[in-house]
Amino acid sequence: MAEVVTVLLSNGVRMPVIGFGLAAEDVMISKGSAPVDHIKASVLTAIQVGYRTFDTASAYFTEGILGESLKDAFEKGMVSREDVFVTSKLFPGDSYPQDVIPALRKSLEKLKLEYLDLYLIHIPAALRKGVVYPHITPDDVVAMDLQGVWRAMEQCVELGLTKAIGVSNFSSKKISDLLAFSRIPPAVNQVQMHPNWQQKKLREYCKSVNIHVSAFSPLGGPGNSWGSNNVLDNPVIKEIANKHFKTPAQVVLRWGIENGVSVMTKSFNPTRISENFQVFNWKLDEEDHEKINNIRQQRIEFMEKIFVNPINGPFKTAEELWDGEI
Ligand code: NAP
């Protein structure tokens, strides 16, 4: 089994740089009632292959199955609780100060864990109460009391419910707003990042304030409504993959890791779970990086379609949501 490469977070805890994502559109659309046995098998395969970071969220309806899978893995002696790094996220419908601690306790109950390694605010906005993915419209998005919600996130650390806290889908400006009052700064910002949306400005800013950037949809999310095949089908990526006798997925995951981010990738296919982990003990060269740096940048519009409301939302334009970042 390959060695687990880690990054040191600002709270002093190490996070393995390749993570196993648990967002699956069919499970989200069915609110968790789609058959999930294959997910459990995938988690156990991932553990055997060497994955130690697991990325879920209340919105994914996979906390329960991840919890069952980990319990099974602990009982079989495959890994112990200390060996794995588990992330979950605050559902935006719970992004109200009084709802944060109960929401985390509910997540822990589903995960059958006593603590998380990382708890993230899923998006920089709240949803009206009662709204459930995927039935979200721009009218359901409301401003979040960021200061109140963050204070409750900090209490989650103080209560021992999570080791680290962070954010997701936050721009540099939104992080800077948060840093102005945070007592415990966010350890991580999880954002969509891949060769077609490289997040250069955000990565530079996060580095300057010691916040680790974690990449979601590092393959570009092929097959998901929020993603596309454009990353894996990019001729530049294919050419680099051929040169190194690797697959396009391995090239883009390696590219992310060489840029200092952790990559949260999802596959429920045993061959691809293993393929995606073969990203250590080889390197991209300078020329590869230069070619990837020159790929035309394009923000994926999925989030904007849900979260931008020109009439009465907290983000009236895409500019207000992303603060001009690409
Ligand atoms: P992704 O890892 O870029 O793409 C996953 C898709 O690629 C799946 O359809 C998978 O299908 C396919 N795939 C996996 N490995 C492959 C390979 N080697 N070759 C070809 N296709 C491959 O991204 P994602 O699913 O959009 O997101 C990954 C994780 O990021 C999620 O599970 C979640 O944990 C997190 N996420 C976070 C947010 C947020 O707002 N914070 C948003 C989205 C996602 P198979 O399963 O069939 O292999």
pLDDT in tens, 94-109: 999 999 999 999 999 9
Whether a cis peptide bond, with omega within 30° of 0, leads into 218 is no
- Rounded CA-CA distance 210/200 in Å is 15
Question: For residue 267, how far is its CA from the centre of ligand 1 (angstroms)?
Answer: 6
208 versus 326: which is more confidently predicted? 208
Between 18 and 28, where is the model more confident?
A: 18
- According to DSSP, the residues that pair with 8 across neighbouring strands are 14
- Could you tell me which residue, 299 or 73, shows the higher pLDDT? 73
pLDDT tens for residues 143-159? Answer: 999 999 999 999 999 99
Instruction: Tell me what pLDDT residue 78 has.
Output: 97
Burial class (CB in 10 A: 0-12, 13-18, 19+), 114: exposed
Residue 166: CA atoms inside 13 Å, Cβ hemisphere, count? 24
List, in sequence order, every residue forming a beta bridge with 89; answer none if it has no partner.
120
Asked whether the whole model's pTM tops 0.75, one would answer yes
Q: Round the average pLDDT of the chain to a whole number and report it.
A: 94
Least confident residue range of 21-30, 105-114, 192-201: 21-30
List beta partners, residue 116. 162
Report the pLDDT value the prediction gives residue 136, as an integer from 0 to 100.
83
Which tokens in the block code for residue 217?
Answer: 């949809």
Can you list the domains of the chain with their CATH numbers? 9-322 (3.20.20.100)
Cα 142 from Cα 140, distance rounded (Å): 6
The amino acid occupying position 114 is E
Does 60 participate in catalysis according to the annotation? yes
CB-defined site of ligand 1, < 6 Å: 21-23, 55, 122, 168-169, 190, 216-224, 226-227, 232, 247, 249, 264-269, 272, 275-276
240-260 pLDDT tens trace:
999 999 999 999 999 999 999
> Residue 1: pLDDT band by 50, 70, 90 thresholds?
low
Nearest residue (by CA) to ligand 1, atom 11, is 267
Q: Is residue 220 within 8 Å of residue 275, measured between CB atoms?
A: no
Closest to 79 measured CA to CA, from 91, 70, 87, 90: 70
Instruction: Please choose from 265, 268, 304 the residue to mutate so as to test ligand 1's pocket, defined by most ligand atoms within 8 A of CB.
Output: 265
Query: pLDDT over 70 for what percent of the chain?
Result: 98
Per residue in 23-73, pLDDT (tens digit) is 988 888 787 777 788 999 999 999 999 999 999 999 999 999 999 999 999
Average pLDDT over residues 176-187: 98
Which 3-state string (H, E, C) describes 212-254? EEEEECCCCCCCCCCCCCCCCCCHHHHHHHHHHCCCHHHHHHH
